[in-house]
Amino acid sequence: MTDLHYLSISEAGALIAKGDLSPVEYVEALLARIEKIDPTLDAFLVVAGEQARADAKAAEAQISGGNYRGPMHGIPYGLKDIIDYAGLKTTAHSKLLQDNVAEIDATTTAKLKAAGGIFMGKMATHEFAIGGPSFDLPWPPARNPWNTDRHPGGSSSGSGAAVAAGLLPGALGSDTGGSVRHPASICSLAGIKPTYGRVSRAGVVPLSFSLDNVGPLTRTVADNAIMLTTISGHDPRDPASARADAVDFTADLDKGVKGMRIGLVRHFYTEDLDAQPEMSASVDGAAEILRDLGATVEEVSMAPLCEYAAVNRVILLSEAYAIHEKWLQERPGDYAHFTRERLMPGAFIRATHYVQAMRHREKMKNKFAEMMRTYDAVITTSSMQVACRIDDEPEVERTYSRQSRTPFNVIGNPALVVPSGFDGENMPLSVQIAGRAFDEATVYRVGHAYEQATKFYEQHPPVD
Amino acid sequence: MSNPNDALKAEAEAVGLHKLEGRHWDELQKALDAKQKHTRGMPDNLTIWDEPAHVYRAGDEA
């Protein structure tokens, strides 16, 4: 069997279930690929090779003994290094936590273990899921497999780089202002920010309590649905965990979009911000493809992007500063330059600003819910441009905020990114699909229909 | 900005940031600019009746 490394979770899972693919063989193939390619990407902070081999042997024995657990059984995965794995360090890619050993698993880790997933290692992140890409930390930043001179997006940077390069079929990231969807957009992946409360945050280093979400990055939408099905569900360890029913997000994937009403939020990328022409064209093109597939697509309006961005930043920075205040006062030199600069505004935001932002948040949420009485989903851009050089600090600073992901963090609704093509330099483009609260199933349905019509996921980065 | 002006230093000390040095002062100036941008960028359409997104609940049934 060739190219095990680019098998999707769905494909590998089907082979493993039938006994046609050995989890041991699969894990060995990926470990060999990690050894060969990761030195150019720096996607992994830790490769858990021996643990993975032992888990793969155990999975193989269970499956051959008739104890197949489901589509994640025998499937390798990685964890952004803000997610606890018992007995291993959770560093948040920071000097401040470089000796922090997790005592128990994060709930998401425990769910992946229970499903029979094979843990492969801890993935690079922007420091504390906010600073980066940084060269002044104990570990280097991850790089983009489509062009290793460029950044892979963030903050779930290692998760995105590794999955895109075929080092893993899936990995978990976190998304507070867009940090799953950014690397997904920039590395040609599917990445979802689920509805706030859908996935437990227990055992995850917090950035902003009321905005943090855990979500998967995968090469296909179906794989994303498999991973989200595995990690979602109510968790008493997380005070924000929703009591929503468990859902099999793969169930309706193939139902198509015929008869759906989809809103196109065009002003985000034509008026509020001016997207790279290829990016705008790819989102407009996605609207056309969804029309061809039978959906009604109409232009709709939301609040201006700058308003969502301001509300997101005031909430995020206030909550993040509450977490980091003591360290910033006592050990400011232990943070990376980008992290300090991005966290310090929180020291000066007044309580009134925070409360006003939370009041705006409620209004924005209700306004979107009202619009979504008419529409099944909305589509728009994610990033306004492809990735720039990783060492071009002014351009990194300028472009990181040129995005339309934060609206869905502010209102809490699910938002999925899928690949929408490539620009003239073969750098990935993307489209974002958002939906009603707790209706990830419809978001996935739209994403899957578009993905199957375009098949951009079949193209791989030039790392071999 | 290795020698911050008095106003910048006072801003830092008022919030307990006593250990900033060297390039930290440039970062602090950028952080203050960012704070202004974010707080001024919020809409201005609240009524006195608009509740915040997260409210205290005394228990699960509340």
Residue among A100, A109, A7, A3 at smallest CA distance from A45: A100
Cβ neighbours of B35 in A, within 8 Å: 317, 345, 348-349
Distance CA A2, CA A20 (A): 13
Whether A155 sits among the annotated catalytic residues: the reply is yes
Cβ neighbours of A360 in B, within 8 Å: 42-43, 46
pLDDT digits 0-9 by tens, A384-398: 999 999 999 999 999
Q: Is A322 on the interface with B (CB under 8 A)?
A: no
Where do the structural domains in chain A lie, given as residue ranges? Answer: 4-458
Q: Which residues pair with A434 in a beta bridge?
A: A378, A415
pLDDT of residue B62: 46
Q: Is the pLDDT of residue A1 over 80?
A: no
Between the alpha carbon of residue A208 and those of residues A64, A256, A342, the distances in Å are 44, 36, 13
Q: Does the reported pTM lie above 0.95?
A: yes
Cβ neighbors of A212 (< 8 A, separation 6 or more) are A174, A175, A176, A201, A204, A206
Residue among A130, A120, A195 at smallest CA distance from A159: A120
Between the alpha carbon of residue A410 and those of residues A196, A360, A407, A440, B62, the distances in Å are 10, 9, 5, 17, 24
User: Where residue A435 falls among pLDDT bands split at 50, 70, 90?
Assistant: very high
Between the alpha carbon of residue A346 and those of residues A194, A427, B31, the distances in Å are 26, 34, 8
pLDDT digits 0-9 by tens, A357-376: 999 999 999 999 999 999 99
Residue of A nearest to B27 (CA): A341
Catalytic residue among A10, A80, A282, A420: A80
Crossing angle, helix A440-454 and helix A221-231, to 10 degrees? 160
Q: Return per-residue pLDDT of chain B as tens, 62 residues.
A: 557 888 999 999 999 999 999 989 999 999 999 999 999 999 999 999 999 998 777 876 64
3-state secondary structure (DSSP) of residue A64: helix
Whether residues A359 and B51 touch (CB distance < 8 A) is answered with yes
pLDDT digits 0-9 by tens, A271-325: 999 999 999 999 999 999 999 999 999 999 999 999 999 999 999 999 999 999 9
Taking residues A230-248, report their average pLDDT: 94
CB atoms within 10 A of CB A432: 32
Whether residues B41 and A317 touch (CB distance < 8 A) is answered with no
Q: Is the pLDDT of residue A439 over 90?
A: yes
pLDDT digits 0-9 by tens, A414-424: 999 999 999 99
Residue of B nearest to A359 (CA): B52
Between the alpha carbon of residue A123 and those of residues A47, A115, A140, A303, A409, the distances in Å are 9, 20, 12, 35, 23
Q: How big is chain A by its Cα radius of gyration, in Å?
A: 20
pLDDT of residue B1: 57
Whether residues B46 and A303 touch (CB distance < 8 A) is answered with no
Between positions 2 and 61 of B, the ones with CB within 8 A of A are 11, 15-21, 23-24, 27-28, 30-32, 34-35, 37-43, 45-46, 50-54
pLDDT of residue A124: 98
Whether residues A332 and B17 touch (CB distance < 8 A) is answered with yes
Cβ neighbors of B28 (< 8 A, separation 6 or more) are A344, B4, B8, B11, B12, B17, B20
pLDDT digits 0-9 by tens, A345-354: 999 999 999 9
- Supply A44's token pair: 């992994």
Give the gap in angstroms from C-alpha A363 to the nearest C-alpha of chain B.
Answer: 8
Mutate to test the interface with A, among B17, B29, B36, B42 (most CBs of A within 10 A): B42
Residue of A nearest to B30 (CA): A341
Average confidence score pLDDT of chain A: 97
The CATH classification of domain A4-458, taken from the options 3.40.50.10140, 3.90.1300.10, 2.60.40.3080, 1.10.3450.40: 3.90.1300.10
Whether A179 sits among the annotated catalytic residues: the reply is yes
Catalytic residue among A179, A208, A282, A382: A179
* Closest partner CB to B19 (pick from A303, A332, A347): A332
Amino acid at A411: I
pLDDT digits 0-9 by tens, A313-330: 999 999 999 999 999 999
Give the gap in angstroms from C-alpha A204 to the nearest C-alpha of chain B.
Answer: 21
Q: Which residues pair with A123 in a beta bridge?
A: A44, A80
Residue of B nearest to A309 (CA): B38
pLDDT of residue A2: 54
